Structure 1
Amino acid sequence: MRTKIIAILLALCTLFLLSSCLPGDGKNTVDRPANFLTGIWHGWIAPISLIVSIFNGKIRIYEVNNTGWWYDAGFYMAVISGFGGLAVSRRKRRREE
């Protein structure tokens, strides 16, 4: 029972930390646009951004105020590596069974 409570609290804390830097939260402006590393972060948390954007109209999956090509490169690298990596690990597990 205690282990379940700790696991739930840990999951909630992790979700809170991941959602603290969502695209469209006002941290990035025209004067301080999102950069390559921010693009990587936004790509990794894109599924969380999608869910939060359903309930909060200000949050987006993609930061509008960005540096352009570099932000796009980081964002797409993270999305492709994150979701593509999951598919590869699933294939390996199925082959081993």
Structure 2
Amino acid sequence: MKAKKITIGLLLLILVTSFVSCAPKHYESYQSGFFSGIWHGMIIVFSLIGKLFGFNIGIYAEHNTGFTYWLGFIIGIGAFGGGSSSARN
């Protein structure tokens, strides 16, 4: 039973680490667009966890296309958080 808990814990740690590794870096050579914004919005929770542990992880891409990146970022956050369907009673 204890081995099963350790295995599940290690798999969870690997999963979280793999999601955090996809976070936007501090310096990027290309401008992030709409689809990058969606992806960065969907992994924001994992980026925040990595930031809390002291890793140098960007939450928001510095070099972005402006409104389209922002729109994708907001859509990504809504898609991960459940959007307005989580506000229903």
TM range (shorter): 0.7 to 0.9
Greater share of residues in helix: 1
Does 2:17 correspond to 1:16? Answer: yes
Count matched residues: 87
- Correspondence for 1:52: 50
| TM-score, scaled relative to structure 1 | 0.70
Indicate the residue corresponding to 2:60 in structure 1. Answer: 62
> Residues of 2 paired with 1:10 and 1:51: CA distance?
16
Find runs of 4+ consecutive structure 1 residues off by over 4 angstroms: none
Q: Which runs of 5+ in 1 are unaligned?
A: 92-97
TM-score normalized with structure 2 length: 0.74
Aligned residue for 1:63, secondary structure, equals coil
1:54-87: CA deviations, max 9, x gaps? 424x422111111222211111001123224496
Within a 5 Å distance, the mapping from 1:1-97 to structure 2 comes to 1-26=2-27, 28-29=28-29, 32-54=30-52, 55-56=54-55, 58-85=56-83, 88=86, 91=89
Please report the RMSD computed on the Cα atoms of aligned residues, expressed in angstroms.
Answer: 2.5
Query: Structure 2: where are the runs of 5+ without partners?
Result: none
Name the larger-Rg structure: 1
Identity of aligned residues (%): 34
